Each structure stands twice: as C-alpha cells, then as structure tokens.
Structure 1
Amino acid sequence: MKEPVISIRHVNFRYPEQTQYALKDISLDVAKGEWLAIVGHNGSGKSTLAKMLNGLHYPEEGQVTICGFSLKEEFVWEVRKRLGMVFQNPDNQFVGTTVQDDVAFGLENNGVPHEVMTARVKNSLQRVGMLDFLNQEPHHLSGGQKQRVAIAGVIALQPDIILLDEATSMLDPRGREEVLSTVRQLKEEQDLTVISITHDLEEASRADRIIVLNEGTVYREGTPEEIFQLNEELIGLGLDVPFPVKLSRVLRLEDFKIVSNHLTEEELVRELWTSNFKK
C-alpha cells in the first residue's frame, strides 16, 4: 500500500447516553490516491465514521490521523482544510445566490485573495463541466448539476481527500453517473484520495477497495471482486450486489460461458458478444 493519508487505530465511539458503541475497535488505513468505498446498512456505523473523519465527532478511545494531524480539537481546522466533504443533499450545501458565489464561499472564509479566488472558482467549475452555469441560480439546476457544483466548491479548496457521504443517493441514474464519472476524472488528474460512504454497492464497485461495516465493526475488506463473492453474506447484512454481478451468476448457472462476475453492464455485454452467447 502507498503512504497512508488516513490512519485509524482501535477507535471506539458511542453517542451520549447510549450504552452501545456506534464504532467498536475500528482500525483501517486509506492510501494516498486510493478510492475507498465504505459500505453498510443503516446503523452499521458508516455515517458516524464519516462525521468523525470531518471532525464532527472525536474518538472516545483510539486515534485518528489525517494527513499527519491527529484528530483533536486543536487540529480540527487543519484536518478540514485537507478533507473536503460532499453531503447527501446538495441543497444543504448551497449558501450563495449564484453558482460562482457558492463555490467562492469557502475560499472567502479562508481569506484567499480575490484574483486567486476568481481563478480557482472558474477552474473548479470547468473541471466538473459547469463553467457555463457560472451566474445560474442553484435552485434552477438538476440534482446531478447541483452535486457537481457542490464538488466544485470542495475542489476549489484544493483538499487532499474528498469524502462523499451518500452523495449520489438522491440522484437519478443519469445524475449518479455524472457525479461518479466526474469524481473518477478528478481523482486521476489530481491524484486525489476519495472515500465514498454508501449503501449502494453499484457505486462501491467503482472503488479500488471496499470495507464492509456491520454493527460498528469492520466486517470484511477487499477489492470489489473479492467483496462481491460474499453474495449471500451481503444480502444477510441488508446489502445487495450490483445487477451485472447477479446476472453473471445466473447466466453461469444456465451454462453460459461467463468467466467472472462483471462489475458493469458494459463488461458483461462485451463478454457475451465475444463468446457469441454460447453455452
């Protein structure tokens, strides 16, 4: 593994007046430039972990280190400069009357000079394909467009890590594809580290590695291919494998020559086509 930008060691956390721990002895690393998906059903601890990474919660026990800074109150703003968070509902992130005002908001708060701020706003909107909407009012945008503007607001701050907290769950399939493609492109161009907190295993299939949480603990971790081999276990945890993986298995049961569990429909169609649909 490359140099870790996030290191979590034996972290325990519980909410006030609760006896059960939301996170129990969590230990994991996130490598620089990696796309890590953290999946789990409601109550598995993934949202609590997302809030902890953004400094909204602190460990009761254990240690979290992000870009060399220990997650403590005195360092929380240093951590937030390095980790940008995109939330589930983009409307909750909009504060400006226009797209460019909204993207500029965080830069103004950080005291970025005006000429630098103007260049960063335009550059970040261009990177997510939203430069033509510079003076548009955010509430006139589609869901996918709003989420891309939210991503632009984060990347304008030039973080080392982007955290997507259920960032595609309110989008239609087209909007979801727009956002995930944008994030993938940005990751490759800037060597960004991406953490995707989600219950959607189709989204998780885009990641380099998946960690499955269950009842506040790390249940399994591995590549998407390895995790999707746990078919019945995932279903038992309240998760569902992507449709192409399901279909690959069904076709194999019908004696079609399908070599592996395909993560995308395109991969499955390509194999079916090259095998001439032979059993």
Structure 2
Amino acid sequence: MNKPLVSIEHVHFKYEGQEEYALKDVSLQIYDGEWLAIVGHNGSGKSTLAKLLNGLQYPEKGRIQIGELELTEDTVWETRKLIGMVFQNPDNQFVGTTVQDDVAFGLENNGILREEMVERVENSLKQVQMEAFLQQEPHQLSGGQKQRVAIASVIALRPQIIVLDEATSMLDPRGREEVLNVIRELKEDHDMTVISITHDLEEAAKADRMIVLNRGQLYREGTPEEIFQLDEELVKLGLDIPFPVKISKMLREKGIPVSKSYLSEEALVAQLWTSHSGK
C-alpha cells in the first residue's frame, strides 16, 4: 500500500455545551490513491470527522496530518488546497449564475490566470459529462447534474483528496450511480484519493477499504468483503446491509451455492449464471 496521505492520531473532539465526546481517541490513516469509506449511523461521529479534515473544527486532543502539514489554524488554508469537499446538498455550494461561472469561482479566488481558468472549467465539466451545460442556470439542473457540477468545481482546483460528505444521500438511485461512476473514473484517471463519508453501505461497497464508526469511536476497519461479514452486527449499529449481500446470504440459507457475499448485483448474477449453466 502507498504511504499515508492523511494521519489522524488519538483525536478527541467535543462540541461546546455537550458532555459526550463526538469523537473519542480516533486514530486512522488514509493512503495515497485509495478510496476509503467511513460509515456509521447518525451521531457516530463521521460528519464531525469531515469537519475536522476540512479545518471547520479542530481537535481538543490529538493531531491531524495532511500531506507534510499538521492541520492547525495556521496551516488550514494550505491544507484546504489539498482537500476538496462535496457536500450533501449541492444547492448550498452554488455561487455562480451559470454552471460555467460556478466552476470558475474557486479558480478566480485562487488567482488562476484567465486562459488556464477557461481550460480548467471546460476540462472539469467534460470529466463529469456536463460540458453541454456551460451556460445553464444551476437551478434548472436535476439533482444528479447539480452534484456533478459541484464535483467539477472541486476537481477544477486539482486537490489530491476529494471528500464526499453524504454527497449522494439526496439523490435518486440513478443520480447516485451516475455520481459514484464519475468519482470512480476520476480516481482511476488522476490517482485521486477519495474519502466517502456515508451511512449508505451500497456506496461504501464501492470503496477499497471501510472504517465503521460507532458512538465516536473506531469500531472496525477492513475491506468491504470483511466488513459485510459482520452482517447482523452492522444492523444492530443502525446500518443497512447492501441488497446483493442480503440476497447472497438468503441464497446460501436456501442451499444455493453462492461462494461469498457479492457486493454488486452484476457479480451475483454472473456467479448464479455460471453455476447454473455448469461452467
């Protein structure tokens, strides 16, 4: 595995006026070029972790290192250049009157020269298949299209890390699939590091590695295959098992030979087809 790009070491965090810690002694590493899903029920601490990574909050104890920099109030603007955030509601991220203006906004703030800005705006919109919507007003777009523009705004800034903070939770299944496919392609084409903070285990199944948070603490970590073997344990934590994993389990209980819990419907269908046709 590559070197850690982000190190979170013994981090504690408590909101003002709260007795309970939102995060308690959390340590984890995020590696260059991986897709890491951080999952947990509401109140598990995952959104707090997103705020800490972006310097919207700072740990009470412990430290966060991003690249070569320790994240502090003095370094926060430098570390934010390394991390691009895509939030739950794309409407909250729109600032331009057109799609083009919106993607250009962050580049203008960073003092990018006009010629390069035009090129980056066009390239980033092309990467998310939204280049035909340059002059469109953002409010005329569908949820999935808005989220793709929000992603284009982030990737135009060329961060090393992209954080999806419940970024697909307001989308319908088709919009969610579109956005996740775009992220997968970007990760592969640009060797980007993706941190997906979500309660949706269907989304988490697409990651290379998963971390489960529970009541502010790191509960488990492993590959999606390893985590989904926890099965009923995840349900008790308030998480819903992905549909293909549930079906795999039901088929095994009925005596149908399914060698493992499949993470995608396509893989499960292929396995059933192969075993049924005797190949």
TM-score of the aligned structures, taking structure 1 as reference length: 0.99
Instruction: Give the conservation status (yes or no) of the 8 Å contact 1:39–1:201.
Output: yes
Distance 1:252 1:95 in 2: 51
User: 1:71 is matched by which residue type in structure 2?
Assistant: L
User: Which residue does 2:22 correspond to in 1?
Assistant: 22
| CA displacement at 1:277 relative to structure 2 | 7.3
Residues 81-113 of structure 1 show CA distances to partners (whole Å, capped at 9, x for unaligned) of: 100000000000000000000000000011111
User: 1:125 is matched by which residue type in structure 2?
Assistant: L
Distance 1:106 1:48 in 2: 24
Off by >3 Å, runs of 4+ in structure 1: none
User: Which residue does 2:224 correspond to in 1?
Assistant: 224
Distance 1:67 1:176 in 2: 30
Distance 1:260 1:89 in 2: 36
Number of aligned positions between the proteins? 278
User: 2:43 is matched by which residue type in structure 1?
Assistant: G
User: Which residue does 1:193 correspond to in 2?
Assistant: 193
Distance 2:20 2:146 in 1: 37
User: Which residue does 1:127 correspond to in 2?
Assistant: 127
Distance 2:68 2:18 in 1: 31
Residues 208-232 of structure 1 show CA distances to partners (whole Å, capped at 9, x for unaligned) of: 0000000000000000000000001
Distance 1:118 1:80 in 2: 22
Distance 1:96 1:68 in 2: 33
User: Which residue does 2:140 correspond to in 1?
Assistant: 140
1:113 aligns with 2:116: no
| CA displacement at 1:240 relative to structure 2 | 1.0
| CA displacement at 1:67 relative to structure 2 | 1.4
User: 1:41 is matched by which residue type in structure 2?
Assistant: H
Residues 155-191 of structure 1 show CA distances to partners (whole Å, capped at 9, x for unaligned) of: 0000000000000000000000000000000000000
User: Which residue does 2:271 correspond to in 1?
Assistant: 271
User: Which residue does 2:11 correspond to in 1?
Assistant: 11
Distance 2:68 2:223 in 1: 26
Residues 236-276 of structure 1 show CA distances to partners (whole Å, capped at 9, x for unaligned) of: 00001100000000001111111110000001111111111
1:244 aligns with 2:244: yes
User: Which residue does 1:210 correspond to in 2?
Assistant: 210
Instruction: Give the conservation status (yes or no) of the 8 Å contact 1:86–1:164.
Output: yes
User: Which residue does 1:92 correspond to in 2?
Assistant: 92
SS at match of 2:266: helix
Distance 2:251 2:84 in 1: 42
Residues 38-57 of structure 1 show CA distances to partners (whole Å, capped at 9, x for unaligned) of: 00000000000001000001
| CA displacement at 1:79 relative to structure 2 | 0.8
Residues 133-171 of structure 1 show CA distances to partners (whole Å, capped at 9, x for unaligned) of: 011111111100000000000000000000000000000
Identity of aligned residues (%): 69
Distance 2:184 2:253 in 1: 33
SS at match of 2:5: strand
Distance 1:67 1:153 in 2: 22
* CA RMSD across the alignment: 0.8
Instruction: Give the conservation status (yes or no) of the 8 Å contact 1:256–1:277.
Output: no
Distance 1:201 1:56 in 2: 26
Distance 1:245 1:158 in 2: 35
Distance 2:79 2:249 in 1: 43
TM-score of the aligned structures, taking structure 2 as reference length: 0.99
User: Which residue does 2:35 correspond to in 1?
Assistant: 35
Show structure 2 runs of 5+ residues with no match. Answer: none
